[in-house]
Amino acid sequence: MAAITLPNNWTDRSYQSPAWDYLDGGGKRAVVLWPRRHGKDDVALNWAAVAAHRRIGSYWHMLPLATQARKAIWDAIDPHTGRRRLDQAFPIGLRESTRDNDMLIRLRCGSTLQVVGSDHYDSLVGTSPAGIVFSEWALSDPNAWTYLSPILEENGGWALFITTPRGDNHAMRMFDFAKRTPWWFAELRTAHDCGVFTPAQLESIRAEMVDLLGEDEGDARYRQEYLCDRTAAIPGAYYAKLIQRAADDGRISEVPWLPGHPVNTAWDLGVRDDTAIWFYQRVGAMTHLIDYYEARGEGAPHYAEVLHEKRKAGKWVWGEHIGPHDARVRDWSTGEPRITVLDRLGIHMTVQGAVSLTDAGYRADGIDQVRRLLPTCRFDAGRCSRGLDALRVYRREWDEVRKVFAGKPFHDFASNGADAFRVLAMTRPAVAPPKRGKREGSAWAA
Instruction: Indicate the residue type of 149.
Output: S
pLDDT band per the 50, 70, 90 thresholds, residue 134: very high
SS (H, E, C) 264-308: EEEEECCCCCEEEEEEEEEECCEEEEEEEEEEECCCHHHHHHHHH
* 8 Å CB contact between 334 and 299: yes
Average pLDDT in the 149-172 region? 94
Which pLDDT band holds residue 354 (cuts at 50, 70, 90)?
low
pLDDT attached to residue 337 = 82
| pLDDT at 6 > cutoff 70 | yes
For residue 7, is the peptide bond before it cis, meaning its omega torsion is within 30 degrees of 0? Answer: yes
Binned at pLDDT 50, 70 and 90, residue 44 comes out as very high
Comparing CA positions, the residue from 304, 291, 275, 440 lying closest to residue 379 is 291
Q: Helix, strand, or coil here: 370?
A: helix
- Dist CA 316 CA 327 (whole Å): 24
| pLDDT tens digits for range 379-412 | 999 999 999 999 999 998 877 666 677 778 988 8
| pLDDT at residue 277, rounded to an integer | 97
pLDDT confidence of residue 280: 98
Give the model confidence (pLDDT) of 175-232 as tens digits.
999 999 999 999 999 999 999 999 999 999 999 999 988 898 889 899 999 999 988 8
| CA–CA distance, 218 with 111 (Å, rounded to integer) | 43
| Distance between CA atoms of residues 109 and 119, nearest Å | 29
Mean pLDDT of 275-300: 94
| Dihedral of the alpha carbons of 280, 281, 284, 287, in degrees to the nearest 10 | -10
Kindly report the pTM of this predicted structure: 0.79
Number of Cα atoms under 13 Å in the Cβ half of residue 68: 19
CB atoms within 10 A of CB 102: 9
pLDDT digits (tens, 9 = 90+) for 409-445: 988 889 999 999 999 999 855 434 334 344 333 332 3
The per-residue pLDDT for 357 is: 57
Give dist(CA 339, CA 349) in Å, integer. 6
Contact call for residues 212 and 201 (beta carbons, < 8 A): no
Helices and strands (DSSP H and E) totals, the chain: 15, 17
